[in-house]
Structure 1
Amino acid sequence: MIQLQLQQKEELESLIRFRESETKLGEKITLCDSLDSLSELTQKFVIFGICEDIGVQANYGKSGASNAWNVFLNSFCNIQVNSYNKESNVILLGKITVSPDEEINEKTDRNILGAIVKRIDNKVAIVVQRIIEAGKIPIVIGGGHNNAYGNLKGATNALGQALNCVNIDAHTDLRLTDYRHSGNGFSYALNDKEGPYLNKYGVFGLHKNYTPQYVFNFIEEHNKKHGHTITYKFMEDMLFPNAQLEAFSDFINTIIDESFGLELDCDSIASFPSSAMSPSGFSLNTTRSFVKLLSASRYCRYFHICEAAPSLANSQQVGKALTYLVTDFIQNNDGNNII
């Protein structure tokens, strides 16, 4: 079963670490009783989680992305309400949960996993579409990068045009479309017979060592047919931290001039617990700067953080990192400087 579970007040209160003379965000944040009621609320941002890692497992990755939402929520609801962090612009919607009809393990046929991912796609697309149609910005936490497809499909259906996308990622996720998994969400978004759901696509921080040649060939052929719509910037070409923010600013110019989505794969952050963790990548602080820069654009339609794979040992730190990224996005969006 794949369903949207709305956030319940009782569960949220059980996570809050109450302290005298302090107000935590979870005490004040707005909850929602249905997707239909979103349009009646004045808040700008709608946060929800995707609790699945089936797409990652189908792509031979490390499981754990299904736990990202829980560690995020535990941290996010305990940040302080103050003059910089205000609850007045955020709705906490809930989470999409996935309960397969049969047990999933390493022996499960990849086509079976792919079929489940397609069902997840449909649910994610519906939720994202409803949020954007209500005039709000979805902030999506968790799951594998297979969910980029659902994000793009939902946003495209809501806006009536294919979205551009900035993907901060060590990988293109333009693998073959033999079956659905976390490595081909953008391939499907480009080639879907009901789409496309993706227009201009930029991958920032791509790792040369983990990109198959056929992907480079595909990009070259695609750009010949459709104009120079797929771009990438290698991590290896900007190893000096001081050059990364300037390179990012230059890279995004031709992508963010119309409606776009922001995708952040946590494997782009050095040594971040993720489904494809790498010792090489951007620092968390640099990544936060990327998010702040993009969130200031009036054309940013959604923000998705994916592939974080926390364990019991590092759950607190992962939750805090995800929270920093979300609050950076909210505080800087449209220059409002409020949550």
Structure 2
Amino acid sequence: MQYLSPFTTIKLESLLAPRTGETKLGQRVHIPTATDDLSTVLAQAKAANVRFAIIGIGEDIGPRANLGRGGSTDAFDSAMKQFLNFQSNRFLTGTQCLVLGQIETTDLQLPGSSTAEQLRHNVEQLDLRVIEVLTRVMQAGLEPIVIGGGHNNAYGLLMAAKASHKRPIAAVNLDPHSDFRPKEGRHSGNGFSYAAASGALGIYHVLGLHELKNSEATLEQLKAFGGHWHTFQQIWVRRELSLETALKSITKELNNSSLPVAVELDLDAITNMPSSASTAAGVPLLDALHYVSYVAKHCPCAYLHLAEAAPSCHVAGLDAGYRETGQSIGELIYSYINGRINAL
């Protein structure tokens, strides 16, 4: 499959820990067959009443092109190890899901000595792959859940959603950074500003924007676009309004637009989450889960994007990073799926 490394039976068996008398999600999900092309895999999944396509993007060239830390290459594997070992039961059987695989990035990864210019060139090449694969997934009628890599991939996702839905997309992003920085070459800090300039982004709301982690120029540019935000300090520090009040306001704004909604979450918003820009003062994981669940339930969602998790950046090492990011992303995936299945 061009630009896609399919999730194989061998890969599934390496992650699955079956138990006698139990059925795990990994024993019920759909995976591609090695002999089929992408169009066939997607058509077969749709015919089997699959709704969600889970896709990884294992790269860190976007964060590094933004002069940040690397490490956001393994989030998909860590997440699948947890998610596929959840129980298949009355709450979620797993048959609604296709674990498609990862967008191929191996040839785009660059050594640590690479310049920002070289990295940004390769981010542009990655954009094309994300747009190509995700457009086909969405046009097949499946709802993507995209894991891993930098937040640079929001641009490709929004472009694919626009091509599939044939109109701009309304996006909400739980993130201390607006990622609306100047168009200075592609990186993880300007996916939304590039999408806005291309016409793919119709409405943009940032939840949990940190008041001191966005430059005045970026805030002014976001304001000029018509973007809105609730800050981290308003909700979690000064308690000027509740998360519930903010979510009701945001979903009302998004739904009034009558546009498909992109649900974005930068894992570095969550307290102590291993990521390219981890923070000690962040959003509790339970609030992030509620955010995903609430928007998924109350809005006509186009996709879920979980970006920037970096297991190797955990202070206790890679194994601990795999456990924490895997468990967190697994719970976020289920929160989204459950919200969409029970959407109002």
TM-score (ref. length: structure 2): 0.90
Secondary structure of 1:273's aligned partner: coil
Per the alignment, residue 325 of structure 1 pairs with 332
Matches of 1:217 and 1:85 in 2, distance apart? 44
Which residue of 2 is the match for residue 82 of structure 1?
Answer: 89
2:295 is the alignment partner of 1:279: no
Distance 1:279 1:132, change over 3 A: same
The answer to whether 1:108 aligns with 2:108 is no
Moved more, 146-155 or 11-20: 11-20
Q: Deviations over 1:112-160 (max 9, x none)?
A: 1111101111111112111111111100000100000000000101111
What SS is found at the alignment partner of 1:47? strand
Cα pair distance change 1:28/1:262, threshold 3 Å? same
Runs of at least 5 residues in structure 1 that lack an aligned partner in the other structure = 223-228
Aligned-pair identity (%): 32
Q: Structure 1's 102 and 191: CA in aligned 2 closer, same or farther, altered over 3 A? A: closer
Q: Indicate if the aligned counterparts of 1:256 and 1:300 stay in contact, CA closer than 8 A.
A: no
- Write the distance in 1 (CA, Å) between the matches of 2:31 and 2:115: 39
Matches within 5 A, 1:107-256: 107-192=113-198, 196-222=199-225, 229-239=226-236, 243-256=242-255
The answer to whether the 8 Å contact 2:262/2:302 transfers is: yes
Given that 1:100 and 1:116 are in contact with CA atoms closer than 8 Å, whether structure 2 keeps it comes out as no
Of 124-133 and 92-101, more deviation after overlay is shown by 92-101
2:268 is matched with 267
Query: How many angstroms does 1:251 deviate by?
Result: 2.6
Name the counterpart of 1:40.
44
2:169 and 2:261 in contact (8 A); partners too: yes
CA contact (8 A) 2:108 2:122 kept: no
Give CA-to-partner distance per residue, 1:78-122, whole Å, 9 cap, x none: 1111111211211110011312368421x3121111111011111
Residue 26 of structure 1 pairs with residue 26 of structure 2: yes
For 1:156 and 1:329, the matched residues in 2 are separated by: 21
Give the secondary-structure state (helix, strand or coil) at the position aligned to 2:236.
coil
Distance in 2 between the 1:132 and 1:12 partners?
A: 24
Instruction: Say whether residues 1:65 and 2:72 are aligned partners.
Output: yes
- Paired amino acid for 2:253: T
How many angstroms apart in 2 are the aligned matches of 1:331 and 1:102? 34
Superposition RMSD on alpha carbons, in Å? 1.8
The match for 2:58 among 40, 43, 51 is: 51
Q: CA deviation at 1:287?
A: 0.9
Task: Provide structure 2 residue ranges, at least 5 long, that are not aligned to the other structure.
Answer: 313-317
Cα deviation 1:283-306 (Å, max 9, x = unaligned): 101111111111113510100000
Amino acid at match of 1:235: F
Contact in 1 for aligned 2:67/2:116 (Cα 8 Å): no
Q: 2:261, 2:299 within 8 Å by CA — same for their partners in 1?
A: no
Q: Distance in 1 between matches of 2:223 and 2:205?
A: 14
Pair 306,102 (structure 1): closer, same or farther in 2 beyond 3 Å: closer
Distance 2:159 2:223 in 1: 24
CA gap 1:239/1:111 in 2 versus in 1, 3 angstroms:
same
Given residue 31 of structure 2, which amino acid in structure 1 is its aligned partner?
Answer: L
Query: 1:268 Cα shift?
Result: 1.1
* Alpha-carbon distance in structure 2 between the residues aligned to 1:137 and 1:101: 26
Q: CA deviation at 1:17?
A: 0.8
| Large movers: runs of 4+ above 4 Å | none
TM-score, structure 1 normalization: 0.92
Distance 2:201 2:56 in 1: 22
- How many residue pairs are counted as aligned between the two chains? 326
Contact 1:298–1:334 (Cα < 8 Å) also in 2: no
CA distance in 1, matches of 2:299, 2:255: 9
Alpha-carbon separation, structure 1, partners of 2:341 and 2:22: 28
